[in-house]
């Protein structure tokens, strides 16, 4: 079955189009392999240079570096490692899992009695993708003001070597595309988790609405069987979504929680200027917000399921 022309695929098109650019899926089409190869090379190159640079900072290359600032570099290294793992997962496993989810959604939507429009979901996805792209661009350009090109009050990961050296210019220039990938990866992954949970929540809520209508009318065995089959079909979809999102959620919560602890340590005991401390505060708030958004999506999904209990 070609899911590329399905109703669900068209509804999720804004999200599905941007996923491959951040290593969260594979490109489709005749030129997909070539584009995929270029994207993989860009990701590996940026993350490798960035990882080497952070490691260089970790061992004390920064002139103001001491052991009290190590927590920051450990947090950045953990986040970089997580993104490499998620990129590999997106390249290898995501296409088949997404295919199964889209197929299951199309089968659910094929029943006219329970037909659920995804127009609001499509608008939500489109708006959120635009917001994610704008936020990614703004935050990436904001990195310029913390780089050694603009100010002497810079963080080590933007310039860890002597000015003018090849390593200095390589790491400085690489910091900006790496930041774009980091921010884009962060926002699009959160959007993916939110959209997938929203789909299952919508299906459960729609099924519950129909169940209440049947309960308030003449209840027949055929209607009860129809609701029962629908419920188990949505439950199967929920299991597929859970299998798809589980690695993302585990890694995201684990790295974000660890990052929060390390950022708090750096804010409490690290040696940094006021500007850099404000930057760490921003990262701390972002990490907490990521966990809260994931918990919110999970709670909404759980509430939709618990209506049948």
| Tens-binned pLDDT, residue by residue, of the chain (309 aa) | 455 567 788 888 888 889 988 888 888 777 777 888 888 888 888 888 887 777 777 665 544 445 666 777 788 788 888 888 888 888 888 888 998 999 888 888 887 777 677 888 888 889 999 998 898 888 777 776 665 555 555 556 555 555 666 777 777 777 788 888 888 888 899 999 999 999 998 888 888 888 888 777 777 778 788 888 888 888 899 899 999 999 889 988 998 898 898 888 878 876 666 767 777 788 888 889 989 999 988 888 887 776 655
User: Which residues make Cβ contacts (< 8 Å) with residue 33, sequence separation at least 6?
Assistant: 27
Domain ranges across the chain: 3-306
CA-CA-CA-CA torsion sign (203, 205, 208, 210): negative
Overall residue count recorded for the chain in this entry: 309
Q: Could you tell me the two tokens for 200?
A: 């299952």
Could you give the 3-state DSSP secondary structure of residue 255? Answer: helix
Phi/psi of residue 261, nearest 5 degrees? -60, -45
User: What is the rounded distance in angstroms from the CA atom of residue 180 to the CA atom of residue 182?
Assistant: 5
Helix (H) or strand (E) holding 23, with range, is none
CA 8 to chain centre: 20
d(CA 87, CA 95): 12
Burial class (CB in 10 A: 0-12, 13-18, 19+), 259: buried
In this prediction the pTM is 0.85
Task: State how far the Cα of 247 lies from the Cα of 86, in Å rounded to an integer.
Answer: 8
């Amino acid at each position: 079955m070609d899911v590329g022309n399905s109703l669900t695929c068209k509804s999720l098109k804004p999200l599905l189009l941007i996923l491959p650019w951040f290593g969260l899926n594979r490109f489709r089409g005749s030129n997909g392999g070539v584009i995929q190869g270029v994207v993989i090379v860009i990701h590996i190159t940026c993350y490798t240079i960035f990882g080497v640079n952070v490691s260089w900072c970790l061992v004390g290359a920064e002139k103001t570096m001491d052991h009290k600032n190590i927590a920051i570099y450990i947090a950045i290294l953990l986040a970089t490692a997580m993104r490499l793992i998620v990129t590999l997962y997106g390249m290898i496993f995501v296409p088949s899992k997404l295919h199964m989810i889209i197929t299951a959604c199309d089968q659910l939507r094929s029943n006219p009695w329970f037909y659920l429009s995804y127009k609001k979901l499509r608008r939500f996805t489109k708006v959120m993708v635009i917001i994610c792209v704008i936020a990614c661009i703004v935050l990436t350009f904001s990195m310029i003001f913390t780089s050694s090109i603009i100010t002497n009050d810079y963080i080590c990961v933007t310039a860890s070597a002597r000015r003018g050296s090849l390593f200095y210019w390589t790491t400085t220039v690489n910091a900006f595309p790496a930041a774009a990938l980091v921010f884009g990866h962060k926002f699009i992954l959160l959007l993916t988790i939110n959209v997938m949970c929203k789909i299952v929540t919508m299906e459960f809520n729609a099924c519950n609405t129909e169940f209440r209508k049947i309960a308030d009318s003449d209840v027949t065995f055929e209607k009860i069987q129809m609701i029962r089959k629908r419920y188990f079909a949505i439950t199967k979809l929920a299991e597929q979504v859970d299998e798809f999102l589980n690695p993302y959620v585990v890694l995201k919560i684990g790295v974000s929680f660890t990052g929060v602890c390390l950022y708090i340590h750096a804010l409490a005991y690290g040696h940094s200027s006021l500007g850099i401390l404000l930057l760490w505060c921003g990262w701390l708030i972002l990490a907490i917000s990521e966990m809260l958004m994931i918990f919110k999506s999970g709670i909404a999904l759980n509430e939709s399921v618990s209506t049948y209990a």
